[in-house]
Structure 1
Amino acid sequence: MIRILHVVNDMHRAGLETMLMNYYRNIDRTKIQFDFLTHRPKKSDYDDEILSMGGKVYYAPRLYPQNYLKYFKWMKRFFEEHPEYKIMHSHIDAMSYLPLLAGKKAGIPVRIAHSHNTSIDRDFKYLLKQYFRFRITSVANMYLACGEEAGKFLFGNKEFTIIPNAVEAERFYYNESIRIKKREELGLTNEFVIGHIGRISYQKNHKFLIKIFSEVVKRDSNAVLLLIGVGEKEVEVRKQVRSLGIEKKVSFLGSRSDVSELYQAMDVFVLPSLFEGIPVVGIEAQFTDLPCIFSNKTPKEVKFNNRSQFIGLETSCQEWAEQILLTKGYERNSTSSNLVNSHYDIKKAYIILENYYMDIVEELLIPSQKKSKDFGVGIQ
């Protein structure tokens, strides 16, 4: 068995983390085991499940600039104490530079950088992240991405392999009885329900979403908005909702474990993000046969349901509202052939990652005459 060290921020219920768990649940764990190196001091939502499947969770120092010296000392000691890790797989985009640099210094032979986005959050580390982005190929020696645009953003002209942001499709197929039950739980009857799932952050563009929704309410007083997720911008967004006088129309549902059921309660899914890789929530929403409206900053690769459309962020809130209202009355189906055959179904996709790892294992263990085989990016 080979143990893969996945490097993440944490393992809370969010898109990247849920995608990783989808692969972890389906991959052959007699051959490949996932462990997780996180950068938060507390337990995350998925930690107990990881432990139950034989995985391990480690808690590294936060990746704050003032912590970098402490961080590299911690990582040096970590790799000295854990010589079993020959493959590290980092998922924190440009910030992957730091753990992969530590891995390179420790002599970890396979250092995978995985791109999950097409831009960078504009936080206090923005300039550092830009520097790390341009340095990432100096510390990684294998490259993965969720899609073409995400790969080109982080790796430039380097060759990379696409691993689909796959989900457990059957969990999301539309189910009328679940819809009725969940809407009753939420106190909904005949309301027109607009749904959004995502971290309340700069990237997800909630302030624009609230402006759009305020225009929807002007046209349809029966509309409501469900916001699932938490994040650093929540206080600002709540304040905006109050200032527009629509607080009775907007529900902040926080982090939820029943996301697959919440999709059933919705009538349309809206994601006006400033940038995306391949949004897992967009894939899940399509498997529930929801009409989906994405911003034009979302890669077109996400679309596999003909009920999905893209609208420019330069388009007015009024026009967004009109397009959202045009989805009213759509009758959803439980399954359809274009959904069942999607490469975003984990039952098909997990084998891609499993084979990828097994090829690496073979490359590491086979005698030197095969060591020169080109894997597209090489092992340096």
Structure 2
Amino acid sequence: MSKSMTQLRLLFFLNSGVRGGIEEHVLSLLQHLPRDHFRFALACPPELIEAMTGDLTDLPVTVFPVRATGWTQWREMLHLQHIVQQFQPHIVHCHLFRATLVGAPIAWAMRVPVIVETYHGREAWRQGQSLKGQFVIDRLVAGCVNHIIAVSEAAARFLIEHKRIPAHKITVIPNGRDLRAFQPGRRAGSAIRKRFQIPASAPVLGVVGRLEPQKGHQYLLQALPQICASFPDARLLLVGEGSLHSALQNQAKDLGLHDNVIFAQFQSDIPAFLDAMDIVVLPSLHEGLSLTAIEASAMAKPIVATDVDGTPEVVRDGTTGVLVPPAAPDDLAHAVLTLLQHPDLAFRYGAAAHAWARQHFDLQRQIDETERLYLELIAMQ
């Protein structure tokens, strides 16, 4: 296999502008795929490059700023075409359908040997009987894609059952994290509590994720008055940035709980912030396979999460945490209060979560399986 014995040129394409779980997923691939096998490039919007600069600086990756988010942006489409022409990739790997919609046809037209999409989960904006809701365009664009990686079994089922993508074009490679960075018991969280003036005795709930509608922060805020009625000194620590920042701040003020909610913005030291939390809450409306759920589990934190998509593959209801319906503040409040009122139960869930994460979600497995798929696809060309 001559191509696999040389350095393959691998171009990742993202058109998201905010750093979140999917962007961390791509960064992990750039950091851990073997550098003697691959030469890397990343094409994405300038604001995402800026958000990732600290992590990209020491990586052998060529970075191309481009903001191609739709077919009507013909200048940006031509720019992306020029990037492909300049880098001459053996593999173009798109993440999320919006990126695939733009990147896959260009890569196909430019005769890139292998085009891969990673499908991170269903898109809430794809509803109804329109072309968007019926996934007609998805199937057309899938004709330009050699293979699709699904990050969870739930994501694969959605591709097959709803988008009607042939099963032979799909491989499930679950998300993983470098679990060496997530070691419970180091007491790094005490510094975080001190930094945000959180009393040592105050219970801390935490959410790590972009402040976007998908993540469901608004429903957790609606649940917070019930929680604070029993635990008045409870704090809700929100780690992440996004378009709902101001709206969520206003919601907390309107609820009279501004002092109970801490907006920590984006943070790179996620293990320390998780260590500061007593319970990690994931109130998402949809998820592919949550990196936060994996990280919190590795930190031996009990989790309250919504029963959506791939989340039950990480959070096992009644074993490592509690699953509740999405958009259900009363259920969120009840689950959180149960764990706060029964710390022994919370401890057992956290210990079980730690063991589950170590067994199933180590990053090296994801890296090895991704590299193996790349090489198999190249060998077929």
- Whether the TM-score (by the shorter chain) exceeds 0.5 is yes
Identity %: 20
Question: Partners in 2 of 1:233 and 1:275 — Cα distance?
Answer: 17
Question: Partners in 2 of 1:41 and 1:24 — Cα distance?
Answer: 18
In 2 relative to 1, CA 217–148 (structure 1 residues): closer, same or farther, beyond 3 Å?
same
In 2 relative to 1, CA 334–303 (structure 1 residues): closer, same or farther, beyond 3 Å?
closer
Aligned to 1:137: 142
Shift of 1:170: 2.0
Aligned to 1:338: 356
Which runs of structure 2 are paired with 1:227-242 in the superposition (5 Å)? 227-242=238-253
Question: Partners in 1 of 2:192 and 2:123 — Cα distance?
Answer: 35
Aligned to 2:107: 103
Question: Partners in 2 of 1:51 and 1:74 — Cα distance?
Answer: 23
Q: Deviations over 1:227-262 (max 9, x none)?
A: 111111222111111111110000011111111110
Aligned equivalent of 1:27, options 27, 33, 38: 33
8 A contact 1:95–1:133 mirrored in 2:
no
Q: Which runs of 5+ in 1 are unaligned?
A: 365-380
Shift of 1:267: 0.5
8 A contact 1:174–1:335 mirrored in 2:
no
8 A contact 1:97–1:139 mirrored in 2:
no
Secondary structure in structure 2 of the residue aligned to 1:76? helix
Q: Does 1:70 align with 2:70?
A: no
Question: Partners in 1 of 2:48 and 2:332 — Cα distance?
Answer: 40
In 2 relative to 1, CA 15–255 (structure 1 residues): closer, same or farther, beyond 3 Å?
same
In 2 relative to 1, CA 322–223 (structure 1 residues): closer, same or farther, beyond 3 Å?
same
Which segment drifts farther, 168-177 or 153-162? Answer: 153-162
Aligned to 2:190: 180
TM-score normalised according to structure 2 size: 0.86
Q: Does 1:325 align with 2:324?
A: no
* 2:84 partner amino acid: F
Which segment drifts farther, 44-53 or 209-218? Answer: 44-53
Which segment drifts farther, 136-145 or 240-249? Answer: 136-145
Provide runs of 4+ in structure 1 moved above 6 Å. none
Question: Partners in 2 of 1:179 and 1:87 — Cα distance?
Answer: 41
Which runs of structure 2 are paired with 1:352-367 in the superposition (5 Å)? 352-364=369-381
Aligned to 1:4: 10
Q: Does 1:311 align with 2:324?
A: yes
Q: Does 1:114 align with 2:132?
A: no
Which runs of structure 2 are paired with 1:225-304 in the superposition (5 Å)? 225-299=236-310, 300-303=312-315
Aligned equivalent of 1:215, options 226, 239, 242: 226
Secondary structure in structure 2 of the residue aligned to 1:70? helix
* 1:54 partner amino acid: P
Which segment drifts farther, 105-114 or 243-252? Answer: 105-114
Question: Alpha carbon RMSD of aligned pairs, Å?
Answer: 2.6
Shift of 1:333: 5.2
Q: Deviations over 1:286-305 (max 9, x none)?
A: 11111111112242222369
Question: Partners in 1 of 2:54 and 2:185 — Cα distance?
Answer: 29
Across the two proteins, how many residue pairs are aligned to each other? 358
Aligned to 2:22: 16
* 1:78 partner amino acid: I
Which runs of structure 2 are paired with 1:53-64 in the superposition (5 Å)? 53-64=59-70
Q: Deviations over 1:41-88 (max 9, x none)?
A: 563332353342211111113415652x223222332333232x1210
Q: Deviations over 1:271-329 (max 9, x none)?
A: 111111111111111111111111122422223693222101364x2332121022122
Which segment drifts farther, 292-301 or 261-270? Answer: 292-301
Question: Partners in 2 of 1:185 and 1:41 — Cα distance?
Answer: 28
8 A contact 2:119–2:155 mirrored in 1:
yes
TM-score normalised according to structure 1 size: 0.86
Q: Which is helix-richer, 1 or 2? A: 2
Which segment drifts farther, 133-142 or 143-152? Answer: 133-142
Question: Partners in 2 of 1:148 and 1:95 — Cα distance?
Answer: 22
Aligned to 2:206: 195
8 A contact 2:15–2:67 mirrored in 1:
no
8 A contact 1:174–1:334 mirrored in 2:
no
Q: Which runs of 5+ in 2 are unaligned?
A: 1-6
